[in-house]
């Protein structure tokens, strides 16, 4: 056919066709040869696989069927080992690939040669009349029995000691009324002892049993029917190749061949690693020491920050002070200028925060004045921008004071002269009128001028501050509120008290003033709620108790006030207000001696706290109460009459003036009840 | 995500390096082969070393937990001391430049150590497999290991997605900026 088709071809074309035909023939021959090679290879491979499979099956057949061994596992450990062997043996038949079977053989070998399986195998062999195995089984039984006896002796001795201990120690102790705690201690000791004894006895028993296991293990290789343990060459044949090099077989218990395993184990930790590890441990030890010293100050600092955010300025200042004093105390234990001493320092930011807290709690002028005493950096008000507004107030205050002093010609001037001099100073340029008006109020208050006069000065001080855009509530706010209250303008006083407590949630004197104003208005429930609110938000303190006493007094519960205050004195013995409240209660009860005693203590403690820097701690109400109770003692001729008379004389010698209301009470124009319960006068 | 992970590890390189060092040391202690002892590398194993999986329960547990614990116990005092002094004690550069730098360094190193607390996912999966699936440890040990394993499991995934790094960065901004 081809020849026929090629008839019309040219010689060149014929040559090409012949060449193509020759090439085709070669290709066909090569393909046929390749197919033959593949077949040969496949045949060879299947032959090798068949050989391996046969070898695996042969090896598997050497392991005994678990049913033969099942009756010879006598204790828990042997049963566990046997169950593992049985599971592996039974799962073998479900395996399909040669690789899975190879791995199963390795596992089976390992389980079969588990030491706990040895006594089971030996016992099985002994049952087949194998003398050597029987002899070992007998030895194992003897050892087991000996173990039980020794263990029993151990338990007997331990129990005897426990009984002796109980009789000698516990029984006499219980008889002597040693108490439940010591009895409990002995019981715990005894329980621990018994537990340890039981553990020791079991361990002794196991020790003897393991000696038997060792004997069985030694016997195993000598028994004919027992398959020999796999040699390393055999393991290598069955094992997978190394996952690292992929050439050599994996060693037992590893994914790597012996060489790769050894190489990987010898990887060295770099020097930089050691250096970094040692360095970080050293650094963390230093940090831990620093942390030990800074933990307490930091706790105070954190508390101060929280208090400042909540506008609890007194608390904030208290925490900042504790923070500074703790740091100073710790620093005294450290070497000056050492690294640790450098680490324990309060930063400038905290100094600034302390100054801000001080300014908010006591006022800008006090803050600048006391910076020298409370702050490490006394010049902080001059250098820190955040404190500039306070410094401006301070400067204005002293500039005004300087200008005013120029107008006062006579140092021994009386009230009118001082007042006129200050009024003249008001026209001077560069003065802060609010400050002058506030000074005028102080003069009027000191001279017991009419409340309308005092309030007029305060009103002008406020007006001037508003015109200049200054917030001077801290300067005149408390005085304005209390003067309004004393003048009977309770509603307006409440407004100021609210503004004051809004600015400083720790302003306890304003809360107290507010409660007094509420009681004067007859809003006793609101005063009671205020005491509860204070107690909830700031914890029970002398002020919340004082308000509670005030409310109880207003309700006529005099005995409860006495009980409340007496209990509170255990903690707040130096509280002026608590003594004042109790004094007023005794006045209402007609116990003038007790009233005098507590009025005296109220006045004394008020002066003491004012001298300590708490300017709001003193109130002329304390002095008025003292005058009233002392005069009543004298009038009624009580036991304290002479002492009370001495007090009146002493106070008058100091220039103190008795209020008009006291004379009215002594003369019978006003009763004590009217004074202290109707809210019409100024000393409740 | 791997790129982000690598960036976070390089930004917190002291922690990543030291975690790998503790891991290497633990592998040495337990005789676990270490395939690749590089500590910092540009892949998802940055901050970890490439080691063989532990076969025993205690080893698997220790290799997973100990490096992170070492970072935690060395990092915590550092980061606390740094933050306390900078944010609470108010130490600034104007107080003492040297101490300010020391505290900044303490905070950075401490936070970086806290960013590398958890094992890689393969290690923690091996722990689960060895201890809980293969039960290669006794019951009390398994009970004790449950919660740490769960924490490590969650932590390993969180660290894979750079969550600790993001949280620490956010915390630093909150503390020092606001």
- The CA-atom distances, in angstroms, between A48 and each of A40, A44, A230, A368, A646 are 12, 6, 21, 100, 127
**What pLDDT is stored for residue A683 in this prediction?**
52
pLDDT value at position A1? 39
Q: What is the pLDDT of residue B75?
A: 96
Distance, in angstroms, between A327 CA and closest chain B CA? 10
Is residue B69 predicted with pLDDT exceeding 50? yes
Q: pLDDT tens digits, residue range A432-452?
A: 889 999 999 988 888 878 889
Q: Do B25 and A342 lie within an 8 Å CB cutoff?
A: no
Alpha-carbon gap, residue B48 to B122, rounded angstroms? 11
Flag if B35 and A244 touch (Cβ within 8 Å): yes
Average pLDDT of chain A, as a whole number? 84
Residue A679 has pLDDT above 70, yes or no: no
Res. A112: pLDDT tops 80: yes
B113: pLDDT strictly greater than 90: yes
Do the beta carbons of residue A651 and residue A623 sit within 8 Å? yes
Interface test with B, best of A286, A289, A290, A292 (most B CBs within 10 A): A290
Tokens of A546: 């004082």
Rounded to two decimals, the ipTM of the complex is 0.93
Q: Compute the distance between CA of residue A232 and CA of residue A235 in angstroms, rounded to an integer.
A: 5
- The predicted-structure confidence for A451-487, as pLDDT tens digits, reads as follows 899 999 999 999 998 888 888 888 889 899 999 988 8
Nearest to B34 among A267, A284, A291 (CB): A267
Q: Measured between alpha carbons, how far is A335 from A196 in angstroms, rounded to an integer?
A: 51
State the pLDDT confidence band at A122, using cuts at 50, 70 and 90.
confident
According to the model, what pLDDT value does residue A224 have? 75
Question: Is the pLDDT score of A6 beyond 50?
Answer: no
pLDDT digits (tens, 9 = 90+) for A127-155: 888 888 888 889 988 998 999 999 999 88
Whole-angstrom Cα distance, residue A82 to residue A73?
7
- Cα separation, B69 vs A413, in Å, equals 78
Minimal Cβ distance to A294: which of B39, B73, B85: B85
d(C-alpha B152, C-alpha B148), whole Å: 6
Tell which wins on pLDDT, B140 or B20: B20
- Residue of B90, B94, B96, B106 to mutate, testing the A interface (most A Cβ within 10 Å of its Cβ): B90
Percent of chain B predicted with pLDDT > 90: 55
Lowest average pLDDT, out of A72-86, A407-421, A628-642, goes to A407-421
What distances in angstroms separate CA A475 from CA A72, A439, A655, B82, one per listed residue?
A: 99, 10, 27, 40
- Average confidence (pLDDT) over A328-347: 82
Q: Any residues with CB less than 8 A from the CB of B80 and at least 6 apart, and which?
A: A287, A291, B110
What does the pLDDT look like over B28-41, one tens digit per residue? 999 888 888 888 88
Least confident of A302-311, A543-552, B101-110, B127-136: B127-136
Question: Would you place residue A5 in the very low, low, confident or very high pLDDT band (cuts 50, 70, 90)?
Answer: very low
Mean pLDDT over A298-322 rounds to: 91
Residue in B24, B53, B78 nearest the CB of A283: B78
pTM for this structure? 0.63
In this prediction, residue A34 carries a pLDDT of 66
pLDDT attached to residue A26: 67
CB contact under 8 A, A342 and B17: no
What's the whole-number mean pLDDT along residues A515-524? 90
């Amino acid at each position: 056919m081809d020849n026929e088709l090629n008839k019309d071809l040219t010689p060149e074309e014929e040559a090409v066709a012949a060449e193509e035909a020759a090439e085709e023939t070669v290709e066909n021959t090569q393909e046929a040869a390749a197919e033959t090679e593949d077949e040969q290879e496949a045949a060879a491979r299947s032959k090798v696989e068949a050989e391996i499979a046969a070898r695996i099956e042969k090896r598997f057949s050497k392991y005994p069927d678990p049913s033969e061994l099942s009756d010879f596992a006598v204790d828990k450990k042997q049963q566990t080992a046997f169950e593992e062997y049985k599971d592996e043996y039974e799962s073998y038949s479900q395996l399909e690939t040669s690789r899975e079977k190879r791995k199963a053989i390795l596992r089976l070998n390992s389980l079969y040669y588990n030491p706990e399986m040895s006594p089971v195998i030996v016992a099985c062999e002994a049952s087949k009349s194998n003398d050597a195995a029987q002899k070992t089984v007998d030895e194992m039984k003897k050892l087991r029995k000996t173990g039980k006896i020794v263990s029993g002796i151990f338990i007997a001795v331990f129990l005897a000691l426990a009984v002796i201990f109980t009789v000698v120690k516990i029984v006499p102790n219980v008889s002597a009324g040693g108490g439940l705690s010591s009895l409990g201690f002995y019981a715990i000791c005894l329980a621990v002892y018994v537990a340890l004894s039981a553990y020791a006895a079991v361990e002794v028993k196991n020790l003897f049993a393991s000696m038997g296991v060792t004997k069985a293990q030694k016997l195993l290789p000598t028994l004919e029917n027992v398959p020999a343990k796999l040699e390393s060459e055999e393991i290598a044949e069955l094992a997978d190749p190394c996952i690292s090099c992929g050439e050599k077989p994996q060693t037992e218990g590893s994914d790597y061949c012996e060489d790769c395993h050894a190489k990987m184990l010898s990887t060295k930790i770099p020097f930089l690693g050691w250096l970094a590890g040692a360095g970080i441990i050293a650094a963390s030890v230093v940090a831990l020491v620093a942390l030990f010293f800074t933990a307490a100050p930091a706790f105070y600092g954190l508390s101060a920050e929280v208090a400042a955010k909540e506008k609890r300025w007194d608390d904030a200042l208290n925490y900042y002070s504790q923070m500074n004093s703790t740091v100073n105390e710790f620093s005294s234990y450290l070497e000056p200028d050492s690294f640790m001493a450098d680490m324990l320092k309060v930063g400038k930011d905290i100094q600034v925060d302390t100054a801000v807290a001080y300014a908010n709690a006591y006022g800008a002028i006090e803050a600048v004045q006391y910076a020298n005493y409370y702050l490490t950096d006394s010049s902080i008000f001059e250098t820190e921008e955040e404190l500039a507004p306070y410094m401006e107030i301070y400067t204005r205050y002293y500039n005004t004071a300087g200008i005013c002093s120029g107008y006062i010609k006579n140092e021994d001037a009386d009230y009118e002269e001082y007042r006129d001099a200050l009024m003249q100073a008001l026209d001077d340029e560069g003065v802060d009128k609010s400050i002058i008006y506030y000074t005028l109020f102080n003069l009027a208050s000191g001279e017991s001028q009419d409340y309308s006069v005092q309030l007029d000065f305060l009103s002008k001080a406020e007006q001037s501050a508003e015109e200049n855009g200054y917030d001077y509530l801290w300067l005149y706010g408390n005085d304005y509120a209390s003067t309004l209250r004393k003048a009977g303008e309770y509603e307006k006083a409440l407004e100021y008290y609210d503004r004051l407590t809004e600015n400083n949630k720790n302003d306890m004197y304003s809360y107290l003033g507010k409660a007094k104003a509420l009681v004067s208005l007859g809003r006793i429930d609101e005063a009671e709620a205020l005491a509860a609110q204070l107690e909830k938000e700031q914890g029970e303190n002398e002020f919340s108790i004082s308000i509670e006493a005030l409310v109880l007094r207003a309700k006529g519960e005099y005995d409860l006030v006495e009980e409340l205050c007496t209990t509170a004195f255990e903690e707040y013995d130096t509280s002026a207000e608590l003594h004042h409240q109790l004094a007023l209660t005794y006045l209402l009860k007609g116990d003038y001696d007790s009233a005098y005693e507590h009025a005296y203590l109220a006045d004394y403690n008020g002066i003491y706290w004012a001298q300590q820097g708490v300017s709001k701690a003193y109130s002329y109400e304390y002095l008025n109460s003292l005058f009233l109770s002392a005069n009543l003692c004298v009038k009624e001729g009580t036991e304290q009459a002479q002492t009370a008379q001495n007090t009146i004389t002493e106070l008058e010698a100091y220039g103190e003036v008795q209020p008009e209301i006291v004379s009215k009470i002594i003369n019978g124009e006003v009763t004590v009840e009217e004074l202290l319960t109707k809210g019409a006068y100024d000393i409740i | 995500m791997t790129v982000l992970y690598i960036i976070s590890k390089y930004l917190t390189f002291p922690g990543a390096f030291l975690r790998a060092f503790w891991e290497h040391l633990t592998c040495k202690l337990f005789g676990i082969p270490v395939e690749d002892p590089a500590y910092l590398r540009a892949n998802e194993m940055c901050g970890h070393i490439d080691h063989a999986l532990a076969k025993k329960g205690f080893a698997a547990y220790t290799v997973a937990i100990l490096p992170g614990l070492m970072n935690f116990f060395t990092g915590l005092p550092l980061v606390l001391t740094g933050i306390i002094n900078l944010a609470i004690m108010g130490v600034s550069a104007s107080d003492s430049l040297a101490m300010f730098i020391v505290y900044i360094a303490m905070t950075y190193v401490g936070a970086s150590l806290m960013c590398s607390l958890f094992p890689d996912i393969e290690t923690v999966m091996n722990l689960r497999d060895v201890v809980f699936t293969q039960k290669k440890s006794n019951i009390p040990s398994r009970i004790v290991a449950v919660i740490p394993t769960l924490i490590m499991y969650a932590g390993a995934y969180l660290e894979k997605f750079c969550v600790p790094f993001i949280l620490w960065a956010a915390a630093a901004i909150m503390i020092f900026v606001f």
